[in-house]
Amino acid sequence: MTRLPAQQVTVWLLGLMVLNVQLRSRMAERRMTKVELAHEVNLEIKVLTGRLGTVSERTVHNWLSGSTRWPPEKIRRALKAVFACTPEELGFVPTGRARTTPEEDVRRRDFIAAVGGTAATALTPTLASAAGSRIGISDVQNLQRRFAEVIASDHLHGGRISIESKAAALADEALELQKHGIATQRIRAQLYASAAAFMSSALWAAIDGRRFDAALEHHQKAASLAAMSGDSSIQFRIWSHAGSMYRHLGQVGDALAANDVARGLPVARRDPLFASLGHARHAAIHGLTGDSNAVRRSLGHAQDALDRADQASSRPVWITAFYDQSELDSLALAAHLAAGNWQDAEACAHRSTAQRRDTMRRSIAITTVRLARAQLGQGDLEPAVATAMSVPPEVSAHPRVRRMLAAFGTNLHERAPGSTSDLAWTAYAHDTWRTTT
pTM: 0.70
Q: Give the three-class secondary structure for 182.
A: strand
DSSP assignment of 135-146, as one string?
A: P-HHHHHHHHHH
Cβ neighbours, 10 Å, residue 48:
24
Q: Is residue 383 part of a domain?
A: no
Residue 16 CA to chain centroid, in angstroms?
Answer: 38
Residue 54 CA to chain centroid, in angstroms?
Answer: 22
Range of the domain at 224: 137-230
Q: Is residue 179 part of a domain?
A: yes
Task: Classify residue 98 by its DSSP letter.
Answer: G
CA distance 426 to 27: 31
CA distance 413 to 425: 9
Phi, psi of 182 (to 5 degrees): -100, 125
Residue 314 CA to chain centroid, in angstroms?
Answer: 26
pLDDT tens digits in sequence order for the chain, 437 residues long: 455 555 554 444 444 456 888 888 888 776 778 887 887 788 778 767 767 788 888 888 888 888 888 898 888 888 887 777 788 888 888 875 544 444 444 444 443 344 333 333 343 444 444 345 778 888 888 888 887 777 777 666 666 777 788 888 888 888 888 787 787 888 888 899 999 998 998 898 888 888 888 899 999 999 999 999 999 999 999 999 999 999 999 999 999 999 999 999 999 999 999 999 999 999 999 999 999 999 999 999 999 999 999 887 889 888 988 899 999 999 999 999 999 999 999 999 999 999 887 767 888 999 999 999 999 999 999 999 999 999 988 787 777 888 899 999 999 999 999 999 999 999 998 888 765 54
Residue at a domain's end among 181, 205, 230:
230
Q: How many domains does the chain have?
A: 2
Amino acid identity at 126: T
Give the pLDDT score at 156: 61
CA distance 44 to 78: 5
Q: Is residue 147 part of a domain?
A: yes
Q: Is residue 379 part of a domain?
A: no
Residue at a domain's end among 230, 247, 265:
230
Residue 141 CA to chain centroid, in angstroms?
Answer: 24
Q: Is residue 191 part of a domain?
A: yes
Give the pLDDT score at 43: 76
Residue 242 CA to chain centroid, in angstroms?
Answer: 14
